[in-house]
Amino acid sequence: MNETQARDFEPPSEPPSNLAEAMAPALSVFNPAARLAAVRRSPQPQGEACRAFRERHFPGVPDSSWNDWHWQLKNRFLSAESLSRIMTLSEDERLAMSPGFGRLPVAVTPYYAAVVAAAGLDDPANPLRRCVVPTTSELTMHANESADPLAEEHDSPVPGIVHRYPDRVLFLTTDFCSTYCRYCTRSRRVGKTPTATAKRKHWEAALEYIAATPQVRDVLLSGGDPLTMPDAAIEYLLARLRAIPHVEMIRLGTKVPVVLPQRITPALTRMLKRFHPLFMSIHCTHPAELTPEMRQACGRLADAGIPLGSQTVLLAGVNNDPAVMLSLMRGLLTCRIRPYYLYQCDEVAGMAHFRTPLSSGVEIIHALRGYTSGYAVPHFVVDLPGGGGKTPVLPEYLKGKDGDTLVFENYQGRLFRTYDPPAPGAAAPVSHGDLQ
């Protein structure tokens, strides 16, 4: 694909009101009849919650539309007015969605609205609803907060690239997401409207930077959500990256399998598997998200040989409960996703209502470790403000040292001792007597 063709595959951009128009150039490369036929060949599983929601709010919409990710994007809930057709909004929520308020647009796919509905659409404490419906708390900025707490713009050598760690870069490919999370770390940039020209320039400059920087062996494509782009756009980026000899692995960061599982089509996975080694980090928040549709999407990705890991933000009133987190982490393994990171909520402006004390994450890890498979225990990390990077936090299991003996507390709180051999070249260990 040459550059002129690539221009046709611009990712969609906000404002959401003209989404169909924004998507039009990208969609024109598809044969609609072939696309519909592909949808029919791969029926999606239908969770009970989805079925009930569809019957009530989208009667008469055929499976061929509901299971088509383009239909899901076109029919998103984008305003207080559209959301109020499916849920009772509080005055506070309505105010937060008034024109001119807030930093991050509102968008919820019909599919994800159905998942939210299963947990009680009219309950403002519904954990999934809290993740997608704004409140005026987002408008309050606390002293420790900032629009870019991780200083990504500072570590950006060219637009769209964040180069913080020695051997890897973050490539922000698009500012578009199918569903906007109210706690988004990149609320300063997602859902905004860069011009098409600037976007093309930003891709080419980013690819040139990676090609000219031999220490970059790992590229993480993120955004926004890169899987909201058409197949051909993703293929273009993957092919360009694969042509760079020092790029050993490519990762995709996405929430699409959770909020828009219809996007994970057989055609997409066939294309992705041509670019191994390719890894995927899937953003999951709550066990209620693990629906039959999401499981099928993850199964397709795993069958394509893509190792799947999860990323979860610890959120007050959403998942800051050891039982909820245990259910999520075990459930992820059954979806063939290895729990990878549990993040302390970043100090992003307007997110104080979601932030928990650090001890909450430590308690959760303590409640998981030993009580379930090690595979189900993620790394709990704080992404340090100012660009310090992801830093792990663990419960204290090593309680101290007694001579050449270490004292540990196990997951049940029982103390155990183990001999600690000296470092090479250090003084000989104290004799423990004749072992013969």
Return the bridge partners of 367, or none. Answer: none
One of 19, 83, 106, 177 touching ligand SF4 (CB under 6 A): 177
Burial 394-409 (b: 16+ CB within 10 A, else e): ebeeeeeeeeeeeeee
Residue 335 is among the residues annotated as catalytic for this protein: no
Burial 284-294 (b: 16+ CB within 10 A, else e): bbbbbbbbebb
Tell me: does residue 283 bind ligand SF4 (CB under 6 A).
yes
**Kind and range of the H or E run holding 253:** strand 249-254
Nearest approach, Cβ of 410 to ligand SF4 (angstroms)? 36
Nearest to 232 by CA among 276, 201, 271: 271
Q: Which 70-89 positions form the footprint of ligand SF4 (CB under 6 A)? A: none
Asked whether the bond before 370 is cis by omega within 30 degrees of 0, the reply is: no
Nearer to ligand SF4, 39 or 190 (CB): 190
**Among 3-11, 140-148, 177-185, 198-206, the segment contacting ligand SF4 (CB under 6 A):** 177-185
- The catalytic residue among 50, 177, 284, 345 is 177
Nearest approach, Cβ of 292 to ligand SF4 (angstroms)? 21
Residue 383 is among the residues annotated as catalytic for this protein: yes
Nearest to 378 by CA among 393, 389, 398: 393
Residue 427: CB atoms within 10 A of its CB come to: 7
Tell me: does residue 69 bind ligand SF4 (CB under 6 A).
no
**DSSP-assigned letter for residue 226:** G
Contacts of residue 325, defined as CB under 8 A and 6 or more positions apart, other chains included, come to: 312, 319, 342, 364, 367, 368
Residue 177 is among the residues annotated as catalytic for this protein: yes
With tokens 């307007």, the residue in question is 350
Contacts of residue 218, defined as CB under 8 A and 6 or more positions apart, other chains included, come to: 167, 168, 169, 247, 248, 249, 250, 251
**Among 39-47, 176-184, 315-323, 427-435, the segment contacting ligand SF4 (CB under 6 A):** 176-184
- The catalytic residue among 186, 240, 263, 295 is 186
Count residues near ligand SF4 (CB under 6 A). Answer: 11
Nearer to ligand SF4, 186 or 202 (CB): 186
Residue 167 is among the residues annotated as catalytic for this protein: no
One of 105, 223, 350, 361 touching ligand SF4 (CB under 6 A): 223
**DSSP-assigned letter for residue 53:** H
CB 306 within 8 A of CB 272: yes
Nearer to ligand SF4, 223 or 230 (CB): 223
- The catalytic residue among 181, 284, 298, 345 is 181
Nearest approach, Cβ of 217 to ligand SF4 (angstroms)? 24
Antiparallel, parallel or unpaired: β 389-392 and 338-344: unpaired
Nearer to ligand SF4, 87 or 132 (CB): 132
The two structure tokens encoding residue 131 = 């993740």
Residue 186 is among the residues annotated as catalytic for this protein: yes
One of 255, 295, 355, 366 touching ligand SF4 (CB under 6 A): 255
Nearer to ligand SF4, 189 or 366 (CB): 189
- The catalytic residue among 148, 175, 231, 346 is 346
**Among 37-45, 183-191, 363-371, 422-430, the segment contacting ligand SF4 (CB under 6 A):** 183-191
Residue-by-residue DSSP string for 363-391: HHHHHHBTTB-GGG-PEEEEEETTTTEEE
Nearer to ligand SF4, 265 or 281 (CB): 281
Nearer to ligand SF4, 106 or 304 (CB): 106
Using CA atoms, how far residue 331 sits from 222, 334, 391, 405, in Å, is 24, 5, 25, 39
Tell me: does residue 251 bind ligand SF4 (CB under 6 A).
no
Nearest approach, Cβ of 99 to ligand SF4 (angstroms)? 20
**Catalytic residue positions?**
164-165, 168, 177, 181, 184, 186, 346, 383, 390
- Binding footprint of ligand SF4 on the chain (CB under 6 A): 177, 180-181, 184, 186, 190, 223-225, 255, 283
